[in-house]
Chains A and B, each alone.
Chain A
């Protein structure tokens, strides 16, 4: 492949043009630094998969005012629906907000498609002066005589490129962080596999079926038997003229249960609560990607001499039942890394000690604070009882509560006692789970 001429040295080299990398490159370029943004895909986004409900609108708005007017967004999210499923029943919490900031700028969230969104975001970094090089795999870092990271080696002829700071935004598998010894190998219970489909559907049908007008959109999240006995969940989002839906399963539990992810996807679409939503839609693209699920416990050492790690590569993906937020934290940590790199360049100091300011910047950007606060949530969400038992109990309880069959009506307390017997729930375990839940989400 013919490589375009690349200068041999940059202030900052950013690896990976996902939301973390492009945001970091944008900020560094605006500060007047020489920035190289490297991406292995044919274009930014070509390798990337999300739902994608993007909750980073306010953050992006600080960088690019009214960004949604020029970016490829699908719909803004003014409704969210969280459903607990058994194989036949669904109990949902329906959230609809027409309030300030949800249906008005800066909008709380947008549904986006990554190949389009990432491409646009990387173009913004380019417009700010960053040099984007696609179709380029970074294989390793370069080190100087003292062993400090001093650039990257790309898989091209004359592939050594020097940089004062390398920011690794290379996503969940982050080979770079592992090569440098900042990250360990992951276990199968720390990662989930997401399989997704984009299904084309006429916008008029979408608006009718989901009761949306104009650019409104809805995000559905599903917990419980939707993934059978595999730990995970499912989602369904409305795009402009398509639906994005997918199933997420913890890798270790897919292995244990010997379940194929695409078969779970088919069963999800066939569920009686989901089938009418997807009726008549036509498959446009199937995709798959890993998700770092364990948050805080997957956090690598975030910096070393000459290098910082951000985004999924740093485990900054909040995957905890109520939340699946990675893109916004990727951007927030990308900004924190950029701020650190900009200061380092100003002071001309690139030691681990100087780059240690990253921790403070992550805190200021509310990244480390959020992940610390929710550090107990991933384990709680992935516990067997929460995954398989409780959604089933809730669904079955509602089903019995609403059933009218001529038998005497049970009040809620006797019904609860009956359910506890039926599902062999132990009060001690329930108390402990209740405590775990509160520790994960309440305080």
Chain B
């Protein structure tokens, strides 16, 4: 198919998931800062940021492209701790 849902897109990507997360979102900072922008929710190409009703964020690192967009877009100090996964882990593009 030409037109695909986001889930269908993500299914084409290969990830070698590391045991420990390379990105950690401190949901308390999101909540306590009353972040109304929620930039992460919109910009993440892997759609990994799920907004919670209490103002926090639910995040899972496993299908991350390691692009860096979230930490560039978020303007709350300390909300996102970002690094690369261990060597050989994470996303592995085959075609792009």
Contacts and interface: CB of A to CB of B under 8 A. Distances in A.
Interface stretch (B26-34, B52-60, B85-93): B85-93
Interface string A152-167: 0011100000000000
A261 B43 CA distance: 7
Interface string A287-322: 111100000000000000000000000000000000
* A interface: dominant SS: mixed
A393 interface: no
B67 interface: yes
A160 to B, nearest CB: 16
Given A269-B2, A281-B2, A198 B96 contact: yes
Contacts of A283: 1-2, 4, 8-9, 12
Interface stretch (A28-36, A41-49, A76-84, A431-439): A41-49
B95 A254 contact: no
Contacts of A188: 39, 72-73
B95 A198 contact: yes
B95 to A, nearest CB: 4
A199 interface: yes
B4 to A, nearest CB: 5
Nearest to A280: B2
A172 B68 contact: yes
Interface residues of A, number: 61
* B interface: dominant SS: loop
Interface stretch (A55-63, A130-138, A330-338, A403-411): A130-138
A242 interface: yes
Interface of B: 1-4, 6, 8-10, 12-13, 16, 37, 39, 42-43, 45-47, 65-69, 72-73, 83-88, 90-96
What 9 A-B pairs have minimum CB-CB distances, sorted nearest first? Answer: A135-B88, A288-B45, A286-B9, A135-B87, A287-B96, A285-B95, A198-B95, A255-B39, A136-B87
